[in-house]
Structure 1
Amino acid sequence: MPTLVRLSRAAASTLLGVAAALLVTLGVIRLWLADVLYDEDRFAATAVSLMENDTVRGEVRRVVVDQAIDQQPDLLAARPLLETVVDTALTSRPFERILEAAARDLHRAIFSSDRQSFVLNISDISTLAQAGLRAYDPELADRLPGGPNLGTIEVASRGAATRLMEVDRQLRALTWVVLAAAAACFVASGLVGGSFRAASTAFGIGLVGGALLTWLGIAIVAELLETRVPGSRVAREAARETWLAYSRELRSWMWLQATAGVVIASVASSLVANASAREQAAAVGRWFAARWEQRLGRVALSGLGVAAGILLFLSPASTGMLLARAAGIALAYLAGVELLRTLGLAREAARRDAPRAARREAAIPAVFAGGTLAVAGLAVAGLFWLNRDALRAPSSADLVRYDGCNGLEELCDRRLDQVLFPSTHNSMGAAESPGWFLAEHLHPIDRQLRDGIRALLIDVYYGYPTGRGVRTDPTLVIEKLEPYWGPQALEAASRLADTIGPIPPGAKPGLYLCHGYCELGATPFEGVMRDLRAFLRQNPGEVVILVLQDYVDPFDVEKAMTRTGLIDYVAVLEWGQPLPTLRELIETDRRLLVFSENVKDAPAPPWYHDAFTWMQDTPFLFRSAEEFSCEPFRGRPDSPLFLVNHWVSRFPPSTRDALPANSAEVLRSRLERCWQERGMMPNIISVNFSEIGDLIPVVEEFNRRGPRQ
């Protein structure tokens, strides 16, 4: 009879320890539900992050393009172009805001309405798609349909699962009741069994079991979505990827739980068991054999076998992965116990009648093992704390926002011709860039952008790379620089260029940013375009103007901008229409305006605007700041944008000349005078050595003042 009582207490203690662990698992799942699914902000932010998944984005792209073609069948021939444009729009910053708003509406429909079907409405995608398509084919962009029927995606319909979530969401306090019950079960396990070490072992094994069951549930839902969702194979895969994205945090926390369970069980077991891992494995085999000899045990084990067989049949990949994880965790547990025993941490059972010194000696390993358990727990907690950002669901605060347009809220609703852009002349010529002689700036373009420059005047040439530098395309007439530099400077530059050596046989030209002689400084065009793309992506509230003094084919520029991804940001202006506001450019994520000084009427992409159709400017050959004038130079009287060339043209370029030119007094005086004489607000003021003087604060002062009424 006493033996029966001890066995019953041991069994009850084990069951209570496992129950405590399963209740912890349930509490973690409810915390995850509250964080990822029930919280509107997290739900919306996770939806936005889904667009980074190629499968999900591909399915959304297919739905949008199919709906467009259904409404306008003659667009079928342009499907590849439509898919490219829509895919670009789906990864843009403005679409993040569209999708976030749509996801919030969907969340409210699920949890705050009685709708029977749930729809994700991203109909505003048509606006972004039209803006992107206009850069390739304006006529085709006008034919792209819009309205509420383009970009409507049916997600699900109300069923038992959604009703259960609605009820569960109302019982938020239940999570803390569950966790309190888990604590009570653990305490009861230790009291009933008379050993908190044994209770800890059962609790640790239960944590591992809870993690395994949760992984299995997540995997089964994923496989059901992949096989049961109506539609194409891609639609089913997209549904699966969506579920995996939303459950990512839960899977991560289950890894934490399983790791903690192994550590707790390993250390606790080493304190109460003197058997080796081999002996423990043999004991497990004997336990199963003993249960098999009992009728009830045989029924229970057979039932588990049937359930495992069904799971393997219905979900072989998920069940196989689960079994592999279970085997790995069991191996880690047994090896951990053996490691602790080998290190002498196992506690020898101390008899009551043993001498006090012997009992004290036997207690030393137990104290050491308890310390090891604490250190291991802290190590696990620290590891996951350091990686906590990877374990939590995205937040709406993680979405990229912008405050104001080009730094000021008051600029958002102004047209381009009502905003002043600080600019650099020959932006690529920087003293910090390797190989640049006669630099006209201290810092390269990426630093200029960070410092506040928003318009870049750059020269694009074909160059031939050699082992000692870059040779300029020999078909260009370099003598065009003589009025700018003078004959003696031109002769000296020519001698210096000859030191590079001839163009290697078979060398192919590339695009370089140079100033007349690539031998005196050449920056690969695509590298700068990548820097510009990175800046635009990281600063979604900024609009940038690019003015190219180009001696290359416009379509070669287009290819380079396509390779670097900058093509996604180019805007197309329409002559005769009001210029767009900064807000319109930002909301459509078309925040780069490209102008060419030399394209004129040559064939070019629609976004490759002729500079002096759209701009009028001032002269630029001034030998001192006192010579600055505002007389008309290039452009047409009806050109809507006004470029003020504001640098001293002397050889070699000098910071001494820039110091007075870039002073606040001279800048203000020139801007005011040009505004008054030309009758239009300056829109670009371009300087040398923008790092010197007061360019940025003076431009901000003018922009705050705004256009005259």
Structure 2
Amino acid sequence: MVGSTRIRALRCAAWICAVLCVAVVALTATARGTVLNAGFHRAVLADEHAYDRLYNQVLVDPRITPVTRDLLGRLPVPEAVLTSNLKTVLPPETLRALTDQQIGHLVDYLRGTTDDLRLSVDLRPVVANITGLSRVYFGDLVSSLQERREPDFAAFLADLKDAVGQVGAGRPPAGLPTLALTKAQADTAAAALLRAAPEDVRGTLRPEVTVALRNGDVATALAVVGPAAFSERTRDAAARLRTAADGGTWDIGADLELDEVRQVRAATRLTLDVVEPLAAALGIAALAALWFTGPDARSRRLRHLGWALAAGGLCTALVALVILWTVGRGPVEVSAAWPPSAARLLDDLQSAAVDRFLAGMLTAALVPVAAGALLVGLVWAGERRETPARARRPGFWPAAGATALALAGAALVPLAFSDDTPRSCQGSPRLCDRRYDEIAQLTSHNAMSTTADQFIGPLQDPVITDQLDAGVRALQLDTYRWERPEELTDRLDESDFPPELRRQIAAAVQGLNPPRPGLWLCHSVCRAGAIELVPTLRQIGDWLRAHPDDVVTLIVQDAVSGEDTEGAFREAGLRDLLFTPDEDPDRPWPTLGEMIDSDRRLVVFAERADGPAPWYRNFYRYAMETPFAFRTPDDLSCVPHRGGTDKRLFLLNHFITADGGSRLDAGVINTRRAVLDRAHACERERGGPVNFVAVDYLTVGDAKAAVDQLNAERD
């Protein structure tokens, strides 16, 4: 009797030990597959589009804008130049690659694969992007200075390094020309140059710098400021940066406090190296004890093993529920001082990580539960076979369940194959009966000037077809021929430069910008970015043919003739898609459904031309607009501009132009509320519906939702 009691106690202890060990192994397996797996973290970031949201939501959040402006204000480069080119120098895919490297280093350290935590950033992709951008921007200038057809950047950088060394040593660099500056221009240049020097020495340096610049002696002015500007601290920082850049990596681990990470590593190493193998060994021993101390019947032993495995899995699932109840979907509390967009991004990342972790834990729990259920089920099935046939009667509930599934399938299968989808126009069934002049369309300002196409100072990020995929239905495009040097120098006649300075600049640009044949889409100056017109038109045509229920509008800022434009559309094969507006601008437009039925779904306007092709009409005969040269969001207004006040179509220019586009301001004005408020105000003031909402950086904010709301309000 005593022996059997001890055996039962041993069996009970073995069963409990097996259950706990199965749960521990499942939990450690979950940790290996989630928080200690680099793919887990990368998947969370990818699922929440973290890299794109960083650019399009966080960095342009109005709450973070003052901080960003303060940081940018310390650099002697216009804010718009930095923010508009940010995604060119450090695009999301490059940032993703850099982040993936750090995730891999950290996970390897926590798992014990490596003994030292080396967080090093590979700077080569960033340097390559900067190099590519600088070569696009400065290529013609460098080749002109070197009097070569193609620039030699290695020689240019060597000369530049030598010149900087001379300036830092207080020696005027050789080769700089004298400039004929007016007194006002010299004083302005002196003030700008002195900002590079410490504030306490500017007063001492100012007289000599001002005199040198008034005499046009730029080299001497630089030499005066150089020693003060290139302080020892600056030299040290430059040396560190040069070392990092030349080596291709930047070791950031030395700048971080890693004590907490080391404590976490100690815990993970203990768990993976000691707890997990110990639990696995004890679990196997406990299951063996259950088998050897179990009842005589083998089926009953198997049932005990099955219940132990299933109970361990259920314990794991219970732990998952406890974690969800105690920790929630946001383990890290977000500070109220954080900007809303950053808080939302962190909350979404936490929620996604917790969901994936719990899903991994429940999956790990399911394995022993399924194994245990299989063992118990096999035992039950074997016992059923040993029972007399007359004792096995068909159950009611299995039969009822099969009948219900059959009826549900019979009802749902016809619905799955039915074609009762309502007709859609421009993405909405409600717009098919709406006239073209009654709908609102998201419009991409300077649609060709994109980060993807490597424009200097881009105003959009995705290429044109991706903009169309994002909901844009009107594109503002600028057509050009590549500038000849004389065309660039002609612009100097409208400047306030003195004659001698104009002559010097004109001489400098004679070797710039050798013209390229054909028609181009550029933003002001083709050397700052250009894509060919005809191939781009073909891409738009291909997109239209792949989307037969959409209408697209092009508003062309035309610096080429109407005849050349007509030829480009003919060469691109778009004549069968072109819509011809009524000759009378006051007549109502057809409905979108009518335009789609006729397959004339490409509307083309020009800012200057009016023909000769009948489909190529002057935009301002048919449309009116707001001003477009707004410097700050507070400047936005609805006052009449080109096109007067009584046209059927209404263009709302909703972007900021301050030394180029402003990505930061786009974060303020591209919000759904800001777009709606201004559109409603302008509609009341101008007495007509807004048809085109033109924005920069269309992926920033939610202008598309505002346009959808405008259309919904017009039902």
TM-score w.r.t. the length of structure 2 is: 0.38
